[in-house]
Amino acid sequence: MDHYLEQLKDEWLIEVTIEEIQEQLESNKITSRQLVLMYLSRIAKVDQGGPKINSIIEVNPEALHIADSLDYERKTKGSRGPLHGIPVVIKDNIDTADKMHTSAGSLVLAESYAKEDATLVKQLREAGAIILGKTNLTEWANFIAEDMPTGYSSRGGQVLNPYGTDFIVGGSSAGSGAAIAANLAVVAVGTETSGSILSPASQNSLVGIKPTVGLISRKGIIPISHTQDTAGPMARSVKDAAILLNVLTGKDSQDPITLTNDLADLDFTNHLIKEGLKGKKIGIARETYFDELNESHLTVMNNAINKLKELGAEVVDPITIPSTNEEWDINVLLYEFKTDLNAYLKTIDSSIGVRTLADVIKANEQIGEKALKFGQKLFLDANATSGNLIEPEYLESLEKDDTLSKTKGIDHVMQEQGLDAIVFPNNFGAMIPAKAGYPSITVPAGYTNEGEPVGITFTAKAYMEPTLLEIAYSYEQATKHRVAPFQAK
């Protein structure tokens, strides 16, 4: 057994899928305890040593004990399902009522313990997942300073891209992206307000699903904006992402938008169709977004578009999203952040000493340079708002965002052209579906000449995740671009 496990660690753990792990668990060739130990070993060697990716901000002290209990349950009662005994990492802005902190990467919340599991954490535990640890992130989900580097937090330091330290790691779910790319866990949960799942998925050659706002409960996630926030899966394959999405989705009376979710009981793996691109009509959003690409990135994207045609898709190239070049603002985020964060802070232990955004700002000032290496301008701007969501400035921006992203944006062009999906390069263009609350999925599209990962992102209207999965799976299976990063091998 020892020799077999050593072989697994060296040859099998890299790029292993949920299905492959379950086959080993069911045949008693490994246990979940042994699996956890393997991943902890990789975290020590790759994340904290060697290339020092720095993607894990904290490991779960109870992970081995949880694994033991799930091994016993498998032996005595059988498996709960595909995630039974599977190590998962989650972003450090998601509440866990255990021995791990929930800090958003902030020194102010470095000793904060959540009183209750986030709804999605409860669902993971019920499915038998092992929460292996929390991942580092761009501090406060990149809503503290204007010039914050992606993947940096004052508590966790800088996350590095395992494909090369010269490449940006993507934010704000940087740790979730780098950890899964470097094979430090099986799958991860990230969060997104605007590009924060899609960006690290693109940069780390992963599949990232930014769901419709309403598909997954946000209860127990440190907020930015109730209009735009969502959690979502990050994985090395579309199938693993779909399996995780099955567990994360659901209705929650404490997050009313989820009551609009008609996909709560859907098995997303039923939409993993190899011929899923045949007959799909896909528009290419070239204007502005492709202009941001250098020649190497553009070559990868053009090759990907040609592949869509080869796989039977009808490609409309280019399309024009009417609102692309409108002047957008972040007023909705500024107003909602103050209101939503103040509400969240009332749920944490009073001994932390912060109950409002103003308290956090003051606490950062007291800590000094270590907490404010890049300042806190967005905090100050948000705190300068009244915190009252009846202000004309807020309401006008809310209506403007909704109109420009939907009726004069994605809805308009999809209806006009009869599209099933829109293509964006990497995470460029993430803002418009983010403001609409619409879903996107990023899939590896290849690598530049320098070895930097490039992702192709497919976007559609609300609750069109099944269509997006069909497209993404078909593209992935035909191309299989993803390879493990050199530094993580």
Supply the residues annotated as catalytic. 91, 172, 196
If pLDDT is split at 50, 70 and 90, which confidence band does 274 have? very high
Interval 425-452: pLDDT, tens? 999 999 999 999 999 999 999 999 999 9
Location of structure tokens 């006009």: 416
Distance of CA 153 to the CA centre of its chain: 17
* pLDDT for 269 beyond 60: yes
If pLDDT is split at 50, 70 and 90, which confidence band does 1 have? very low
If pLDDT is split at 50, 70 and 90, which confidence band does 6 have? low
pLDDT for the residue numbered 5: 54
| Distance separating alpha carbons of residues 133 and 92, to the nearest angstrom | 9
* pLDDT for 487 beyond 90: no
pLDDT for the residue numbered 488: 42
**Across the chain, what does the average pLDDT equal?**
96
Location of structure tokens 């501090």: 139
Exposed, middle or buried: residue 414 (CB in 10 Å: 0-12, 13-18, 19+)?
A: buried
The average pLDDT across 178-204 equals: 98
Interval 15-51: pLDDT, tens? 999 999 999 999 999 999 999 999 999 999 999 998 9
What's the angle, vertex CA 47, arms to CA 43 and CA 50, rounded to 5? 110
**pTM, rounded to two decimals:** 0.97
Sorted by sequence, the CB contacts under 8 Å of residue 180 that are 6+ apart come out as 89, 186, 187, 188, 204, 206, 234, 235, 236
**Percent of the chain scoring above 90 in pLDDT:** 94
Beta-strand (E) ranges in 207-337?
A: 207-210, 230-235, 281-284, 314-316
Interval 48-90: pLDDT, tens? 998 999 999 999 999 999 999 999 999 999 999 999 999 999 9
Interval 340-385: pLDDT, tens? 999 999 999 999 999 999 999 999 999 999 999 999 999 999 999 9
14 CB neighbour count, 10 Å cutoff: 14
